[in-house]
C-alpha cells in the first residue's frame, strides 16, 4: 500500500476516534486503560507474530529496541493524558487544530535538524500550507460566543485552549520523530513495535487504575467510545508508522493532518461550533498543502 493510501486511512480513523471521544465526554485513566486493553487484545493476533518476527537477534540491538518501545509508550501516555485534560478544560475546536498545527511544524523542523532530511521547496511549501490551513481553522473555531461569564471568560477559555493545544503539539512532534526513527533507522516492524508500546501503556494505566478503581466508571458508562477509540486509534497510528517507511517525515507529518479537515466539519455540524466559512477556507488550504506534498 502506498504512503498516500495509508495516510488517507489514518486520517479517517484518527478523526473518527477523536470525534467519538469528544462526543462521549469520556476521560481519565480508567477510560484510557479500557481502550488500550481493547487495542492490545484486538491486535494481538497480528501484533505478537510481527513483534517476534521483527526482534533483533543481537543483544545490543534488542536493548535499543526495548528502549524505543518504552520511550514511545511514555510519550503516548503523556499525549493521551494531556489530550484528555485539554478536552476537559477547553474547546475541541481550539485544542485540536492548534495541536495538529504545532505538531507537524515542529516535526518538520525536527526531521531536518535531527534526522537529516532535506526536503525540496515544494514539500516545504506544502507543509507550511497545511500548518497555515490548520491555524485558520483553529482561529475560526476559537471565536466562540461568550457563555455565562461573558467575553472575558470566553477569551480566557480560548487562550487556555491555545496553550493546551501547543503543549499537545510538542508531544505530537516528539513521538512522531521518535517513532519515525524506530521504524526507519532501527528498522522495527510498525505493527509489532506499536503493539508492544500499547502493552507498556496498558501497564502504566492499569497501575493508575489499581490505585483508584472508581476511575473505571467512565469506561463502563461509554462502552461504544471505548471500542471505537480502542480499535481506531492504534489502527490510525500503525498506518502512519507504515507511511514513515515509504515517505520522509517532512511529508508524512503534515500530510496526516488531513484529519483536521474532518474535525473542523464535525465541530461545525456535530458540536455546533461557529464560522463554517472560515473552516472551509482553512480546509481548502490544508488540502492544497497536501496536494503539494504529493507533487513533491
Q: Which residue has the higher pLDDT, 101 or 231?
A: 231
Q: Cell numbers of 134, please?
A: 490548520
pTM across the whole model: 0.85
**160 pLDDT exceeds 60?**
yes
Q: Cell numbers of 162, please?
A: 491555545
**253 pLDDT exceeds 60?**
yes
Q: Cβ-count burial of 120 within 10 angstroms (0-12 exposed, 13-18 middle, 19+ buried)? A: exposed
Confidence band (pLDDT; 50, 70, 90) for 144? very low
Q: Cβ-count burial of 233 within 10 angstroms (0-12 exposed, 13-18 middle, 19+ buried)? A: buried
Q: What is the mean pLDDT of residues 184-202?
A: 96
**Predicted pLDDT of residue 63:** 94
Q: What is the mean pLDDT of residues 90-118?
A: 85
- Which one-letter DSSP state was computed for residue 256? G
% pLDDT > 70, the chain: 87
CB 292 within 8 A of CB 131: no
Q: How far apart are CA 74 and CA 256, in angstroms?
A: 22
**Predicted pLDDT of residue 46:** 97
Confidence band (pLDDT; 50, 70, 90) for 99? confident
Q: Which residue has the higher pLDDT, 83 or 170?
A: 170
**Predicted pLDDT of residue 270:** 65
% pLDDT > 90, the chain: 42
DSSP per-residue codes, 119-155? --HHHHHHHHHHHHHHHHHHHHHH-PPP-SSHHHHHH
**Predicted confidence (pLDDT) per residue in 7-43, tens digit:** 989 988 988 887 887 777 666 788 889 999 999 999 9
Burial 37-49 (b: 16+ CB within 10 A, else e): bbbbebbeeebbe
Confidence band (pLDDT; 50, 70, 90) for 179? very high
Q: State which residues form the domain around 270.
A: 3-295
1-10, 142-151, 154-163, 178-187: least confidently modelled range: 142-151
Structurally, the chain folds into a number of domains equal to 1
**Predicted pLDDT of residue 146:** 45
**Predicted pLDDT of residue 275:** 65
Confidence band (pLDDT; 50, 70, 90) for 112? very high
Q: How far apart are CA 11 and CA 257, in angstroms?
A: 7
**221 pLDDT exceeds 80?**
yes
Most confident range (mean pLDDT) of 70-74, 123-127, 212-216, 283-287 is 70-74
**Predicted pLDDT of residue 271:** 61
Amino acid at each position: 500500500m502506498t504512503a498516500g493510501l495509508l495516510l488517507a486511512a489514518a486520517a479517517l480513523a484518527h478523526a473518527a476516534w477523536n470525534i467519538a471521544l469528544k462526543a462521549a465526554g469520556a476521560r481519565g485513566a480508567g477510560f484510557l486503560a479500557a481502550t488500550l486493553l481493547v487495542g492490545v487484545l484486538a491486535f494481538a493476533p497480528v501484533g505478537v507474530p510481527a513483534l517476534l518476527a521483527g526482534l533483533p537477534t543481537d543483544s545490543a540491538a534488542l536493548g535499543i529496541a526495548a528502549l524505543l518501545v518504552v520511550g514511545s509508550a511514555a510519550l503516548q501516555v503523556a499525549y493521551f493524558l494531556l489530550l484528555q485534560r485539554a478536552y476537559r478544560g477547553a474547546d475541541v475546536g481550539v485544542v485540536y487544530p492548534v495541536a495538529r498545527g504545532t505538531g507537524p511544524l515542529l516535526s518538520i523542523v525536527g526531521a531536518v535538524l535531527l534526522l537529516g532530511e532535506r526536503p525540496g521547496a515544494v514539500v516545504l511549501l506544502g507543509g507550511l500550507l497545511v500548518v497555515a490551513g490548520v491555524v485558520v481553522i483553529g482561529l475560526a473555531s476559537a471565536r466562540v460566543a461568550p457563555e455565562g461569564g461573558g467575553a472575558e471568560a470566553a477569551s480566557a477559555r480560548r487562550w487556555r485552549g491555545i496553550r493546551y493545544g501547543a503543549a499537545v503539539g510538542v508531544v505530537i512532534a516528539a513521538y512522531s520523530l521518535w517513532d519515525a526513527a524506530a521504524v526507519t533507522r532501527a528498522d522495527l516492524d510498525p505493527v509489532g513495535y506499536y503493539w508492544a508500546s500499547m502493552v507498556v501503556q496498558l501497564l502504566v494505566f492499569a497501575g493508575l487504575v489499581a490505585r483508584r478503581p472508581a476511575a473505571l466508571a467512565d469506561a463502563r458508562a461509554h462502552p461504544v467510545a471505548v471500542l471505537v477509540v480502542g480499535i481506531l486509534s492504534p489502527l490510525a497510528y500503525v498506518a502512519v508508522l507504515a507511511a514513515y517507511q515509504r515517505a520522509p517525515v517532512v511529508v508524512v507529518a503534515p500530510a496526516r493532518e488531513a484529519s483536521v479537515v474532518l474535525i473542523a466539519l464535525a465541530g461545525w455540524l456535530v458540536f455546533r461550533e461557529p464560522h463554517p466559512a472560515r473552516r472551509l477556507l482553512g480546509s481548502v488550504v490544508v488540502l492544497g498543502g497536501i496536494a503539494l506534498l504529493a507533487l513533491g
